[in-house]
Amino acid sequence: MGNTAKIFAFLLGATVLFHTVLNFMLGNISDFETVALPPKKAPEIRSNYPLLKVDATSKEEWTLINLSTGETHRVKEPEEEMGRLQEISWDMGFQRTKVITNSGVTNPKGTVGVINLGQVPFSEVVKIPETGYVQDARSFGKLINKGIADWYNYRTRTHNIESKKNVYIVRTASGQYMKMRILNYYCRNSEADCRTAMCTREEAACLTIEYSVSKDGENFPIPPPAEEAGLSAG
């Protein structure tokens, strides 16, 4: 048998095999159907301190939080609902990446203030500063607290938000002091997942915050008391 005949016989055999496999798959297509994956679970974030979960996903409303109790309220435009802001008990407000406090231009009767300590070890922050607390102001027509406004980096390559992991001291409306650090911004992704790949806006604005509350108004406890429990604000 010549080379041409051998090549022809090989191609013919390969064609018959291909059609045989294809017909088998078509006849048993149910065996090859893709099974839907279960919903992705929220990332497990570990900390030696209690965690505060904040649902800031709405683009139309602000989530106002009482840091002492975890109680939340929803408002659309803080300036248009000034009367309500002065009636309810709240400390900080979140909307996507934006943060306001119960103070300054947002609420002249509020006393909440924030100090940015930068990227320092969370557990080593013990002494509570006496002065330097920043209140809300107006910048380019928008409400802002410059003490915490720049808490994140925007990644131009992936268009994702990544916390700077700064430590903040918050003087609450009730006169307590809390230290806090934003650990994650995404609902069902860890920050590491969003460092190299794009995470959608639908996955964004579920902030995870670690915190510790002072018992004496002068120092933060080390280690955190076992009785401290995590709060969830949604």
What pLDDT score does 201 carry? 78
DSSP string, 132-150: --B--EEETTEEE-TTTTT
State the DSSP H helix or E strand holding residue 184, giving kind and residue range, or none if neither: strand 177-186
What pLDDT score does 41 carry? 58
Q: What is the DSSP letter of 216?
A: S
Nearest partner of 146 among 132, 136, 159, 156, judged by Cα: 136
pLDDT tens digits for 26-85? 454 444 344 444 455 556 677 889 999 999 999 999 999 999 888 999 999 888 888 888
What pLDDT score does 35 carry? 45
First to last CA, the chain: 79
Give the tokens for residue 187.
């609902």
Give the tokens for residue 214.
């002072």
More confident residue, 90 or 42: 90
Length of the chain equals 234
Cβ neighbour number for residue 195 with a 10 Å cutoff: 14
- Strand ranges (E), 20-133: 51-55, 62-65, 72-75, 92-95, 98-101, 113-118
Close Cβ partners of 195 (under 8 Å, ≥ 6 residues apart):
155, 158, 160, 162
What pLDDT score does 158 carry? 82
More confident residue, 2 or 33: 2
Asked whether the beta carbons of 90 and 203 are under 8 A apart, the reply is no
pTM of the model as a whole: 0.77
Q: Is 61 helix (H, G, I), strand (E, B) or coil?
A: coil
Asked whether the beta carbons of 212 and 178 are under 8 A apart, the reply is yes
Cβ neighbour number for residue 186 with a 10 Å cutoff: 22
More confident residue, 190 or 134: 134
Asked whether the beta carbons of 114 and 131 are under 8 A apart, the reply is no
> pLDDT grade, residue 203 (50/70/90)?
confident
Q: What is the DSSP letter of 225?
A: P
Give the tokens for residue 106.
């947002």
> pLDDT grade, residue 23 (50/70/90)?
low
